[in-house]
């Protein structure tokens, strides 16, 4: 029998499952029942399975390093920096490493079978880099991630550094990166590109584009486009304290061309926008 070809262990397991299900329809020589029918008959005599799955893993208790990493075998796996120097439980599965503080899962990583490797999730270190923006360009956990950033991320970072060269620009960019904890990568990339194209290179420009997409998905933009009173109410609230005056003038000009544009640039949170629309 030829060896199966698979792209991953998940793919291999899927193929094995499909072959097992196909076997249920096969009848063994000198038998009248199929394998599946014989299994159903035999299963009624078995003891019931436990109420919860068996946690098939190697479980150890470790103390986090000052760099907010948990050692397992020879490798080091990151957890969010706020948990540094705390004792955690590492559950090592064949393909993943899960790290717990009691019942709370702190982190999950693909298991590394190499030696003396650092396995980082860059999001785990953003809170620290927000406090220490001077370390941003040298942070080891971000190096591999930065190499894979879309071009728009580098444009946003450079623009923020130009606007606030004293470190505040890096802090603003780190806060933008923190949105990855709540929103998918594709949506983040689109939000950053649109914020740059509208000349709104800052956190609120990115965040309100994300909220705009959620609002559009709920069809609230149709209500705004049809309601002059809503636009009048929101028109005066389009200027962010972080946005230069000339940007506000651009927004006013664009508003008449695209009423839905106000959703991106209003400083209202999603809840406040919803309440405003309800009153219009």
| pLDDT tens by residue, 107-142 | 999 999 999 999 999 999 999 999 999 999 999 999
Q: What are phi and psi of 14, to 5 degrees?
A: -65, -40
What's the burial of 213, exposed, middle or buried (CB within 10 Å: 0-12/13-18/19+)? middle
Of the candidates 98, 147, 106, 104, the residue with the CA atom closest to the CA atom of residue 123: 106
> Which pLDDT value is given to residue 272?
45
Among residues 219, 205, 210, the alpha carbon closest in space to that of 265 is found at 205
Q: Which residue has the tokens 């190697």?
A: 58
Residue 212: pLDDT above 60?
yes
Q: 215 falls in which pLDDT band (50, 70, 90)?
A: low
Structure tokens at 51: 């109420």
Q: Of 162, 215, 154, 164, which is closest to residue 189 (Cα–Cα)? A: 154
Domain coordinates in residue numbering, the chain: 9-43, 58-119, 125-182, 198-280
Q: Residue 2: what are its φ and ψ, rounded to 5°?
A: -70, 150
- Per mean pLDDT, which range of 36-45, 165-174, 219-228 is the poorest? 219-228
- CA–CA dist 19, 278 (Å, integer): 56
- pLDDT-based confidence at residue 214 (cuts at 50, 70, 90): low
- Looking at the DSSP assignment, which residues form a beta bridge with residue 105? 100
């Amino acid at each position: 029998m030829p060896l199966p070809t698979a792209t991953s262990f998940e793919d291999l397991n899927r193929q094995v499952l499909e072959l097992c299900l196909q076997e249920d329809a096969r009848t063994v020589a000198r038998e009248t029942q199929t394998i599946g029918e014989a299994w159903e008959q035999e299963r009624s005599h078995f003891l019931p399975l436990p109420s919860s799955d068996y946690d098939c893993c190697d479980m150890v208790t470790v103390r986090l390093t000052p760099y907010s990493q948990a050692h397992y075998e020879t490798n080091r796996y990151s957890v969010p920096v706020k948990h540094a120097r705390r004792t955690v439980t590492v559950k090592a599965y064949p393909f993943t490493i899960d790290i717990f503080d009691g019942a709370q899962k702190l982190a999950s990583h693909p298991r590394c079978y190499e030696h003396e490797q650092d396995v980082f999730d860059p999001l785990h270190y953003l809170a620290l880099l927000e406090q220490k923006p001077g370390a941003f360009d040298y942070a080891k956990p971000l190096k591999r991630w930065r190499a894979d950033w879309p071009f728009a991320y580098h444009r946003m970072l450079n623009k923020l550094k130009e606007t606030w060269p004293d470190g505040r620009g890096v802090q603003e960019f780190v806060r933008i990166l923190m949105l990855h904890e709540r929103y998918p990568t594709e949506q983040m990339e689109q939000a950053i590109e649109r914020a740059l194209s509208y000349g709104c290179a800052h956190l609120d420009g990115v965040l309100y584009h994300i909220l705009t997409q959620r609002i559009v998905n709920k069809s609230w933009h149709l209500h705004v486009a049809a309601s002059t009173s809503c636009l009048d109410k929101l028109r005066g609230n389009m200027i962010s304290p972080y946005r230069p005056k000339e940007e506000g003038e651009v927004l006013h000009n664009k508003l008449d061309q695209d009423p839905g544009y106000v959703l991106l640039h209003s400083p209202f949170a999603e809840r406040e926008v919803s309440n405003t629309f309800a009153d219009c």
